[in-house]
Amino acid sequence: MAQVVVVGGGWAGLSAALALKDAGVDFLLLEGSPRLGGKVRTHRQEGFLVEGGPDASVRYKKEVLELGERFGLEPIGTLPAKPAAHILLRGKAHPLPEGLLQIVPGDLKGLARTPLLSLSGKLRALYDLLLPRGGREDESLREFVERRLGLEVFNALVAPLAGGIYGGEPEELSMRAAFPQLLELERKHRSLLLGAMRARRARGSREGGSLFFSFQEGLSALTRRLAEEVREKALLATPVLGLETLKGSYRLHTPRGVLEAEAVVLA
């Protein structure tokens, strides 16, 4: 019986397995597909490096930068002067507002100039400057943005961006799980807009460069380095079909048979 079974061989599962290895904890990693890496998939085609899943990470994800540094992977930025992302609204493609922080406005001039929002939508977003802090530990992305910036900001700006990142229903995303940094901005600065503006200024003076980054060999470079560290304790093509709670342990049902563990990490 393993001390810990990690279910999932994407970046989260691989990172959890590496942390267990570093701590000297006996573990086993189970991945349902025949490869490690989850949604991250990089390949070369006609001389180009092509990402089949996420095409970049973001600098506020410090854990990715720290793992890259551990394995000697140097981050390379995108071209901030040539933004390529647009949002389609009423049949016309509009560039993202200037000064976004993650998925929310972080620059008042950019907010004022964007054609994605009506005048009433912009005024409602500015009302955030006067609102008190929220009191809930977690809420959905829609609830958070509608409360702070208004429904129009959510529908026209946040929902398309969040949907593109997570590929799911942005209304159902948990703030604590998907955007804890935005909750922290509200907690620390009260106003989300003020917090976003201050965070952008601090990031620019401290780091410079673009918000997005990858690695010279693509995002799969990190997958390969993580996999090299934990591959001996990984079982591929081993989906977990069922999970039972026992007294003091867990039982996992897989096509290879039944496994037991003292703890389970679902990643």
For residue 89, what pLDDT is reported?
86
Beta carbons within 8 Å of 160's beta carbon, 6+ residues apart: 87, 88
Does the CA dihedral 155-159-161-167 come out positive or negative?
A: negative
For residue 85, what pLDDT is reported?
76
Separation between Cα atoms, residue 50 and residue 44, nearest integer Å: 6
Amino acid at residue number 46 = E
For residue 213, what pLDDT is reported?
86
Domains of the chain: 2-56+220-266 (3.50.50.60), 86-209 (1.10.3110.10)
**Mean pLDDT of residues grouped by 10 in the chain (267 residues)?**
94 97 97 95 90 82 90 82 74 88 88 95 96 91 96 94 78 89 93 91 59 88 97 96 94 96 96
Separation between Cα atoms, residue 243 and residue 147, nearest integer Å: 38
